[in-house]
Amino acid sequence: MPYCKFASGYWHLGNAYKKAGNKKEAVIAYENFIKYAKDTDSRVKGAKTILKQLTSQ
């Protein structure tokens, strides 16, 4: 269980950094979320999309 909550923390951190305009930290947080999240987590696909958007800007 804590494993999922750990990954979820990165998801929320990425969202907060993105909203604040801190692209560099948001990219790191989303990369860590993808790394630690379970494949069944529906947010993984969204995180990959957001990551592509952030890195292409």
The series of mean pLDDT values per 10 residues for the chain, 57 residues long, is 70 95 95 90 94 92
Instruction: List the one residue out of 25, 22, 20, 18 whose CA is nearest residue 49.
Output: 18
- Cα-Cα-Cα-Cα dihedral sign, residues 10, 31, 47, 29: positive
What DSSP state is assigned to residue 45? H
Output the pLDDT for position 2: 46
Domain count, the chain: 1
What DSSP state is assigned to residue 40? T
Q: What is the pTM of this model?
A: 0.85
Range of the domain at 17: 2-56
Provide the 10 A C-beta neighbour count for residue 49.
Answer: 11
Output the pLDDT for position 1: 35
